[in-house]
Structure 1
Amino acid sequence: MSLSLLLDDSAEILTALLTAPKLYHHGPERFRPLLTREEVDAMIDAGTLPMRNVVLLQDGTAVDPCRYGKGDMPRRGYIRGMLNDKATLSLRGLEEMKPPLAGLAKSISCETGCSTHVNAYYTPAGGHGLRYHYDRYVTLIVQLHGQKAWPVHPPFVENPVQDYGNFTSRGFTEEERRFLEFTPPAETYTLGPGDVLWLPRGYVHSPYTVGDEPSLHITIGLKERTPQWVAAEVAGHVLRQALADPEMRAGLAPADVAEPGDAVKEARAYLIGALAKADLSELSAVVRRAAFRPS
């Protein structure tokens, strides 16, 4: 299995990632081998979901795990009770739990060079998961059961990453919150079983169930590689090579640390020279190995 299981234009996307949302339609049985509502219900009612894989969401926020955790497992019956109260169950790290999802995640990682993770979201009829937010990675939403609507707004932050524009640390400004409160979404995508939504990083969304059936979908996160990541891998390789030079391992005088101007100039000159002399094919191999090594 690979990206072509999910997307009709996977070959084109490997050449240039989509920068706008796109909805794909498939038959309702296409993704049953990955995960079913019946499987999730069985794990809930048998009490076999480990705490490390469980997050409960209610009223748009995560429920304190102390309310439902008992050691390594949730309190028996608590998750079902929360679902009956219209909470959403989020199952995290399914690529480590379910072989078909493990195989799909590994295949996509090998195909794209992106690190991946797989979560599932089980929301009862009339339920609403997280309120408006955005992710710092491409999200592939794969609808497995029921229907879910995805109101979407364009990004407030262009190309957010872990260390810049991350919603978890940044949130929304007051102006952005007012915009979301009073502005209809630019687009609302309603997904039924077999549908897949490509949602680029940064797009603001707040999904909710539609109809009388609970919704179950998986999200496959694709953490894109960026020019900054390439630069960091290249610089890291050059600096690791620098350890072979005794002068680069010599100690700095405390005065040079307190006033590092001259040391910084020497370091800059070293990096410029090392990068100018570096073999581009060797650096390309370094970056390729970094992209495709197991996460």
Structure 2
Amino acid sequence: EQSGPASQEARPTASALGRLLEPSLSVEQFFETVWGEAPRVFQRTNGASPLLPWDDLLGVLQRAQEPQRPAEVDLLVMSDGCPSTAYDSCHAAYLDGCSLIVNHLDKIFAPVNAVCRELRQHLPHAYVNMYLTPPESQAVAPHADDRDVLVLQVAGSKLWKVYPDPPVPLPYTREQVGKSSAYPVPQEVLDAPPLVECTLRAGDVLYMPRGFVHEACTGDAAASLHLTFAMATHDWSWAS
């Protein structure tokens, strides 16, 4: 199987990736040295403005529940790693210790949409999911994805573990381990020492190629808000 980025002609040296990762990292360098190779952490110390300020969060949650919202947008309440419908409001759920996920945030929040449009100059597709996790919590169980991702920590902090040796290299949607009882994460993967174990803080980014099993949890000090930029690489892969 082969997979690859968009054509060279579609890759300007512009800065969406640089702003997210390292200002000195060009698009060409990203695809040559980072893309598809291994998980990598980019730590930012310049205090850049958050892409989703706390002041905008309530408005985002409201728009994610409006009847006229785009069809792709979905707000999930996660209790003990599973979707829950037991609460009258997402606010009550969060105060009770649940995590909140907004899928396709880029459809309802213009600053994030603008970054996704820039990324699509280099990639066939990019979209964003938002995760709000209270202290001492884990939004989802360990799993692997069928897409490469950039995890941007917006506020608070989160401890991430990424495990070596993907159980299904370059998985397609039906092959994502940890997302259904039919495809559990092999225990030997979770028993292995993590390939990456780090705490992301505001401005930090974790790049993960498709297929790597990972998990994340908050500490006891504060909530965590992060954005996952999903680059659906399984949609533009082919066999040879």
Question: Could you say which TM-score interval applies, normalised by the shorter chain?
Answer: 0.7 to 0.9
The 1-side partners of 2:55 and 2:134 are apart by 14
In the superposition, the TM-score normalised over structure 2's length comes to 0.79
The CA distance in 2 between the partners of 1:144 and 1:105, in whole Å, is: 16
In structure 2, C-alpha distance between the alignment counterparts of 1:27 and 1:205, rounded to whole Å: 25
Asked if the contact 2:167–2:189 (Cα under 8 Å) also holds between the matched residues in 1, the reply is: no
- Give the Å deviation of 1:219: 0.3
Q: Unpaired runs of 5+ in structure 2?
A: 1-14, 67-72
1:166 maps to which residue? 176
Higher RCO structure, 1 or 2 (CA under 8 Å, sep 6+): 2
Matched, 1:49 2:70: no
1:19 aligns with 2:37: yes
Is 1:7 paired with 2:7? no
1:274 matched residue in structure 2: none
* Partner Cα distance (1:157, 1:201) in 2: 9
Larger radius of gyration: 1
- The whole-number CA distance in structure 2 between the counterparts of 1:106 and 1:135 is 22
Instruction: Give the Cα separation in 2 of the matches to 1:117 and 1:86.
Output: 27
SS in 2 for 1:207: strand
Report the counterpart of residue 39 of structure 1 in structure 2.
56
1:141 alignment counterpart: 151
Distance 1:23 1:86, change over 3 A: same
Amino acid in the other structure paired with 1:61: C
CA RMSD of aligned residues (A): 2.3
2-structure distance, mates of 1:179, 1:157: 11
Residue 203 of structure 1: aligned partner: 212
* 2:77–2:98 Cα contact (<8 Å) kept: yes
CA shift in 2, pair 1:158/1:50, >3 Å: same
Does residue 138 of structure 2 align to residue 128 of structure 1? yes
How far has the Cα of 1:205 moved from its partner? 1.0
Correspondence 1:58 to 2:58: no
Correspondence list, 1:133-282, <5 A = 133-154=143-164, 155-163=166-174, 165-167=175-177, 168=179, 170-172=182-184, 176-177=186-187, 179-180=189-190, 182-224=191-233, 225-228=236-239
Fraction of identical pairs, as percent: 24
Q: Distance in 2 between matches of 1:226 and 1:7?
A: 25
What is the alpha-carbon distance in structure 1 between the residues aligned to residue 157 and residue 133 of structure 2? 10
State the 1:91 CA deviation. Answer: 0.9
Preserved CA contact (<8 Å) 1:27 1:193: no
- Which ranges of structure 1 fall in alignment gaps of 5 or more residues? 69-74, 232-295
Q: How far apart are residue 22 of structure 1 and its match? A: 0.6
Higher helix share: 1
Task: Report the CA distance between 1:127 and its aligned residue.
Answer: 1.4
* Mapped contact 1:105–1:116 kept (Cα < 8 A): yes
Larger proportion of strand: 2
The equivalent of 1:87 in structure 2 is 98
Q: Name the aligned partner's letter for residue 44 of structure 2.
A: H
Preserved contact between residue 60 and residue 109 of structure 2 (Cα < 8 Å): no
| 1:147-179 C-alpha deviation (Å, 9 max, x unpaired) | 00111112111111235x233465226xx1365
Q: Is the 8 A contact 2:63 2:108 kept in 1?
A: no
Q: Are positions 1:30 and 2:44 aligned together?
A: no
After TM superposition, the score normalised by the length of structure 1 is 0.65
State the aligned residue count: 211
Deviation at 1:187, TM superposition (A): 2.6
* Pairwise CA distance, 1:13: 2.0
TM-fit CA distance, 1:186: 3.2
Amino acid in the other structure paired with 1:40: L
Q: Output one character per residue of 1:203-251: Cα deviation in whole Å (capped at 9) or x when no partner.
A: 11111012411100000001223233xx7xxxxxxxxxxxxxxxxxxxx
